[in-house]
Amino acid sequence: MDWQFIGQGATYLIMVMGGWILKTLWSAQREMAADLAKLREELPKEYVSKPDFKESIAALFKKLDYIAERLDRREDKGL
């Protein structure tokens, strides 16, 4: 057998395997990009945004302060 034929066959095989690996990586990258886009779309629907959370906590503390104030007034009256 001719050594040049064997070398060309090995080169062809390596190129085919490299192409397959690159194709696999490209598809995985495309799939990850699609998943990331989907996550960006769904994330605000499932979690509370920071300003909304701060607003809720402020309202909660306002109510707790009101309750504490009422309890302090009841203690002062001796009831």
Q: Does 11 share its domain with 38?
A: yes
pLDDT tens digits for 3-26?
A: 898 999 999 999 999 999 999 999
| Cα gap 34→1, rounded to integer Å | 49
Structural domain count, the chain: 2
What is the average per-residue pLDDT within 49-58?
92
Give the type of residue at 49: S
Residue 1 pLDDT class (50, 70, 90 cuts):
confident
41 and 52 inside one domain? no
Residue 79 has a pLDDT of: 56
Q: What is the mean pLDDT of the chain?
A: 90
Q: How many beta carbons lie within 10 A of that of residue 10, not counting itself?
A: 10
Whether residues 21 and 56 share a domain: the answer is no
pLDDT at 46 exceeding the cut of 70: yes
Q: Are residues 42 and 53 in the same domain?
A: no
Residue 67 has pLDDT above 90, yes or no: yes
Burial track 39-56 (b if 16+ CB lie within 10 A, e otherwise): eeeeeeeeeeeeeeeeee
